């Protein structure tokens, strides 16, 4: 009698990160090499074959600090391809340092329909005395096969926590609980059981940019150049004049909730490129009412980031500029982030 395999089909896209790393000893958590491929990662969780039929693709094997536009596009194309191929779920293995940038980019550029897209990484390399990667990968696949994961946008499974990729933020440079942000935690695990706290919904402010026309026939994407500036005491505004020659836009991490020294405000607000006012603080938001002279619209190039931190503001501004949006339309997109 022939048996029909009815297990969900999952596609793994492996990109590297600590989850794919080997260190020189079991206590060494830096200076590792990215030597673990998708096949070896899956070999560490043999029980997964009872839950899903898995195919994999090695997109690259790098530290996430080295993810550039070409790799970002390769991840985007890998996800698009897996969606076209009708997989039931997609899991992307990725380094944690820039995980939130990739998940935010994918959330805003891919409409996943009913197919869960789940990112996963680890804080310890595979050679650690107790690596977290295998369990994190196992749980990410559990999320990808769970019907309750549909309609929630891009998800992240790390350290027994399911989060939205949109709100994700690495809040600690080390430690298993490195993704300790307050907003955007959707659920947890008990063993391999996925438990959501909420019914499916997408985070407020998700955009849906169709970038397919902007990808060249050679498969390249040239995103506009946006620099992030970090506000601090004794800021030398001459730096802005120098940088402004090279950019299509700026994001400024303001000192508080939109506050900057007067001289810096005046400098930024007289530039011909858009400037998004974001924040150094991990939590809280910048409403448009906190922008300099917003009532009179005197400074027409300044935009409030809402809840978005500088990295995410950079990506949203890049996508808006890629689509040649006016400053007013960019401001609208940012205001959707907090309903402002």
Ligand X SMILES: NC(=O)C[C@H](N)C(=O)O
Residue of 18, 98, 102, 127 marked active site: 18
Which of 109, 116, 133 minimizes the C-alpha distance to 16? Answer: 133
Which of 139, 121, 134 minimizes the C-alpha distance to 190? Answer: 139
CB 247 within 8 A of CB 300: no
Q: How far is the CB of 33 from ligand X (least distance, A)?
A: 12
To the query of whether residue 188 is one of the catalytic residues in this protein, the response is no
Q: How far is the CB of 170 from ligand X (least distance, A)?
A: 9
Residue of 15, 93, 96, 164 marked active site: 96
Closer residue to ligand X, CB minimum distance, 63 or 214: 63
Binding residues (CB under 6 A) for ligand X: these are 17-18, 63-64, 95-97, 121, 123
Euclidean distance between CA atoms 273 and 229, whole angstroms: 14
Euclidean distance between CA atoms 323 and 336, whole angstroms: 17
CB 252 within 8 A of CB 277: yes
Q: How far is the CB of 316 from ligand X (least distance, A)?
A: 22
Tokens for 37, please give them. 């491929």
Closer residue to ligand X, CB minimum distance, 64 or 254: 64
Closer residue to ligand X, CB minimum distance, 177 or 219: 177
Closer residue to ligand X, CB minimum distance, 96 or 265: 96
Q: Please, is 247 exposed, middle or buried when counting C-beta atoms within 10 Å of its C-beta (0-12, 13-18, 19+)?
A: middle
The answer to whether the annotation marks 97 as part of a ligand binding site is: yes
Q: Please, is 25 exposed, middle or buried when counting C-beta atoms within 10 Å of its C-beta (0-12, 13-18, 19+)?
A: exposed
To the query of whether residue 127 is one of the catalytic residues in this protein, the response is no
Euclidean distance between CA atoms 252 and 241, whole angstroms: 14
Euclidean distance between CA atoms 73 and 286, whole angstroms: 30
The answer to whether the annotation marks 163 as part of a ligand binding site is: no
The answer to whether the annotation marks 248 as part of a ligand binding site is: no
Handedness of CA 146, 211, 57, 176 (dihedral sign): negative
Q: Give Cα separations from 22 to 15, 49, 340 (angstroms).
A: 15, 24, 46
What secondary structure letter does DSSP report for 4?
Answer: P
Determine the residue with CB nearest ligand X.
95
Q: How far is the CB of 58 from ligand X (least distance, A)?
A: 15
Annotation: binding site: 64, 96-97
- The catalytic site residues sit at 18, 96
Binding-site residue positions for substrate? 64, 96-97
């Amino acid at each position: 009698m022939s048996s029909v395999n009815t297990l969900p089909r999952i596609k793994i896209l492996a990109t590297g990160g600590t989850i794919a790393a080997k260190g020189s000893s079991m206590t060494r958590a830096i200076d590792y090499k990215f030597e673990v491929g998708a096949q070896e990662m899956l070999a560490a969780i043999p029980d997964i074959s009872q839950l899903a039929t898995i195919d994999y693709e090695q997109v690259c094997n790098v530290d996430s600090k080295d993810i550039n536009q070409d790799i970002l596009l390769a991840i985007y194309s890998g996800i698009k391809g897996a969606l076209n191929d009708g997989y039931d779920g997609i899991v992307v293995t990725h380094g944690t340092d820039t995980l939130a940038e990739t998940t935010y980019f994918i959330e805003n550029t891919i409409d996943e329909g009913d197919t869960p897209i789940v990112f996963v990484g680890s804080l310890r390399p595979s050679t650690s005395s107790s690596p977290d990667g295998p369990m994190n990968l196992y749980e990410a696949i559990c999320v990808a096969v769970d019907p309750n994961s549909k309609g929630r946008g891009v998800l992240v499974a790390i350290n027994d926590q399911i989060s939205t990729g949109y709100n994700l933020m690495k809040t600690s440079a080390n430690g298993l609980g490195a993704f300790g942000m307050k907003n955007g935690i959707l659920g947890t695990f008990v063993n391999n059981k996925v438990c959501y706290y909420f019914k499916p919904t997408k985070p407020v402010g998700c955009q849906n940019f169709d970038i397919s026309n902007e990808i060249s026939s050679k498969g390249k994407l040239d995103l506009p150049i946006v620099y992030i500036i970090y506000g601090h005491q004794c800021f030398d505004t001459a730096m802005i004049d120098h940088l402004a020659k090279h950019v299509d836009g700026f994001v400024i991490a303001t000192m508080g909730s939109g506050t900057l020294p007067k001289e810096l405000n005046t400098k930024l607000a007289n530039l011909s490129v858009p400037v998004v006012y974001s924040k150094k603080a991990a939590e809280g938001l910048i409403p448009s009412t906190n922008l300099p002279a917003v009532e009179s619209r005197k400074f027409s190039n300044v935009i409030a980031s809402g809840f978005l931190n500088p990295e995410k503001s950079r990506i949203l501004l890049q996508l808006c500029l890629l689509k040649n949006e006016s400053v007013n339309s960019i401001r609208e997109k940012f205001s959707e982030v907090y309903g402002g």
